[in-house]
Structure 1
Amino acid sequence: MPQYSVTLRDNSAHSNNTKAIAAEEPIIHDLFEHRTGTWQYVVADPSTLVAVIIDPVLDYDPATQVVTTQTADSLISLIREEGYKVDRILETHVHADHLTAASYLQNRLALEQGYRPPIGIGKRIEQVQKLFGQKYGIPAKEYENTFGKLFDDDEVFNIGNLRSIAIHLPGHTPDHLGYKIGDNVFCGDSLFNADIGTARCDFPGGSANNLFDSARKLLDLPGHTKIWTGHDYPPNERGAPVPWMSVRDHRAQNTHLRDSITRGKFVALRKERDSKLGEPKLLHHALQVNIRAGKLPSPMESGGHRMIHLPLKQEGVEW
């Protein structure tokens, strides 16, 4: 089996490994999954050690069709070592580039802590599930009610004593959410780092105009606010992946969204770039698992295999 590299970094304001930070600000652990370029987060309230997991990754090797859990298990190890109790698992949207580990983690945590944390996502997920359920011929019973919490726009919720807000950020996908926790926003695939810009908008329900509005919503926040991204694909000249940038730095440096870029220029730039992008390598695999909140397809009665559907493209003459 290939070995998947995961980078773990603790971004809390610790001093000498203590958790002496302001009660209103979270402890943040960012974990980078190199194979899919995905940032995962464990965010905890320092006063209660209640935590959430944001956008966890399930390992999948398309060459062998093997699913493994070492990346998700590293999250479990971190949570155990820090003494956290996970209150929720949060998804920003239905990802098209990696399989979510949400259901696996939910089951593991139910055993570890005696509490089964709900998987949260935006309320528009049901539209996305129906769309891709029909596209791939997935029985509705396999994706209905798989998410335990559907957030309303601007819904306030607590992580221990931390006040958090679910922010609707459409554009990349119509159901997309960000989570504001203290002076931090976990923006999923809305904004990338300044040298990359923003995420594509050519998926069903995507919109460059909507993404511009969502980005301005983020960049209208106070300048010190940290925007934590869902992915990084660092160019060679930069080197290491970076999990966050401040609103102030995005407004000055973001190649797609700095203050001098108008809506019209952004929409034209985004549409031109999207027209040249190929589909994500794990698009069909990811969507079929992720509308199920990470549950694998039910085993077939004959042979017990779990199956996903992949479209064939025919080129040349009819045959």
Structure 2
Amino acid sequence: MLHKTSPSTGIGSAAVTGLYDATTGSIAYVAADPATAKCALIDPVLDFDPAAARTRTTHADALLDLVHAQDLEVQWILDTHPHADHISAASYLKGKTGAQTAIGARVPDIAALWRKFYNMPDAFDVTADYDHLFAECDSFRIGDLPVRVLLSAGHTLASISYVVGGDAAFVHDTLMQPDAGTARADFPGGSSDALYSSIHDILALPGDTRLFIGHDYGTKTRESPAWEATVAQQKAHNIHVGGGTTRGDFIALRDARDATLSLPDRMLAALQMNLRAGRAPAPEDDGNSYLKIPLNRF
């Protein structure tokens, strides 16, 4: 399973290992404080076969193998938002490590939207499944490394970014790699206008800040996945927002692009679990869990 480490650049800088999931193009991260050997797992993936509706823990277990190989202690399991294209392994990894879980403070607003789509008025108590709901400007630590939370709405209304130490930020589905552009903003509660603002909040970070993204699918000219670029590289070369793209031009480009995209094939299954931190619905009287799929709603 492909992984790469971006080493710490010195005191106050995280060592970051990204683990690529080829099936969904997702990258999960181990963000570690070298001084204390404490780490956070960010956007971990639970494998899901949509044809068979079967979950596996291969990717999450590989993430734990990386933790053990580096002799780290997991302090946090952090999601940036409820993902539409993969299932979070937060609940599984909490059971394995005992670490605290967290997601954004506005995720209950997403839960309210999806209760209506699924006609499940009593579902998705986000506060019961996550230990912390982080709001804009909240702060915490990974070991001795300070972490600051940015609200990064647009892809979803509740997306957050984690700015770790002095030179790393985990910006999920806002920016892609510079040669791929930006993420879609057409899911319920999404907004290309809000996405533009969030991107520029991120690009206001120091130019040498390493930005770690949530997905990469390659491009027509690049087959190998990549997931790290600096703020300076994004500002200069991002094909959607680099070089001073105006808000109006970005909105027009993003909305036109989004109009051509189909739903991710895991979305209607994934959100039911991701609004529970990746936990399956409670078993029914036969001992099995079931997902509910709305017909003709999308």
TM-score w.r.t. the length of structure 1 is 0.89
Is 1:133–1:288's contact at 8 Å kept on the other side of the alignment?
Answer: no
Structure 1 equivalent of residue 112 of structure 2 = 130
Larger CA deviation: 132-141 vs 178-187: 132-141
Q: Report the alpha carbon displacement of residue 142 of structure 1 after superposing the two structures with TM.
A: 5.3
Q: Report the alpha carbon displacement of residue 304 of structure 1 after superposing the two structures with TM.
A: 2.0
**How far, CA to CA, are the matches of 1:59 and 1:103 in structure 2?**
13
**1:67 correspondence with 2:62:** no
Structure 2 equivalent of residue 38 of structure 1 = 26
Alignment of 1:1-319 (within 5 A): 6-13=1-8, 22-109=10-97, 116-138=98-120, 140=122, 143-144=125-126, 145-182=128-165, 183-301=167-285, 303-313=286-296
Is 1:95–1:290's contact at 8 Å kept on the other side of the alignment?
Answer: yes
CA displacement, residues 256-313 of structure 1 (integer Å, 9 cap, x when unaligned)? 1012311110000011111111111111011000000110011111x22211112233
Q: Point out 4+ residue stretches in structure 1 off by more than 2 angstroms.
A: 137-144, 311-314
**How far, CA to CA, are the matches of 1:133 and 1:56 in structure 2?**
24
Q: Report the alpha carbon displacement of residue 204 of structure 1 after superposing the two structures with TM.
A: 1.4
**How far, CA to CA, are the matches of 1:107 and 1:130 in structure 2?**
27
Is 1:59–1:69's contact at 8 Å kept on the other side of the alignment?
Answer: yes
Aligned residue for 2:116, secondary structure, equals: helix
Aligned residue for 2:65, secondary structure, equals: helix
**How far, CA to CA, are the matches of 2:86 and 2:10 in structure 1?**
34
Aligned residue for 1:140, secondary structure, equals: coil
CA displacement, residues 206-242 of structure 1 (integer Å, 9 cap, x when unaligned)? 1111111111111122211111100001014212111
**How far, CA to CA, are the matches of 1:7 and 1:140 in structure 2?**
40
Q: Which residue type is aligned with residue 105 of structure 2? A: K
Is 2:45–2:88's contact at 8 Å kept on the other side of the alignment?
Answer: yes
Structure 2 equivalent of residue 3 of structure 1 = none
**How far, CA to CA, are the matches of 1:236 and 1:276 in structure 2?**
18
**How far, CA to CA, are the matches of 1:214 and 1:149 in structure 2?**
22
CA displacement, residues 115-152 of structure 1 (integer Å, 9 cap, x when unaligned)? x2121111001111222133224463653411110112
**How far, CA to CA, are the matches of 1:226 and 1:283 in structure 2?**
29
Structure 2 vs 1, CA of residues 141 and 210 (structure 1 numbering), >3 Å: closer, same or farther? closer
Q: Report the alpha carbon displacement of residue 79 of structure 1 after superposing the two structures with TM.
A: 1.2
Q: Report the alpha carbon displacement of residue 97 of structure 1 after superposing the two structures with TM.
A: 0.4
Aligned residue for 1:89, secondary structure, equals: strand
**How far, CA to CA, are the matches of 1:130 and 1:311 in structure 2?**
16
Is 2:138–2:149's contact at 8 Å kept on the other side of the alignment?
Answer: yes
Is 1:28–1:43's contact at 8 Å kept on the other side of the alignment?
Answer: yes
**How far, CA to CA, are the matches of 1:52 and 1:138 in structure 2?**
32
Larger CA deviation: 124-133 vs 28-37: 124-133
**How many pairs does the alignment contain?**
295
Unaligned runs of 5+ in 2: none
CA displacement, residues 31-53 of structure 1 (integer Å, 9 cap, x when unaligned)? 00000000110001101011000
Unaligned runs of 5+ in 1: 1-5, 14-20, 110-115, 315-319
Structure 2 vs 1, CA of residues 140 and 221 (structure 1 numbering), >3 Å: closer, same or farther? same
CA RMSD of aligned residues (A): 1.5
Larger Rg: 1
Is 1:142–1:297's contact at 8 Å kept on the other side of the alignment?
Answer: no
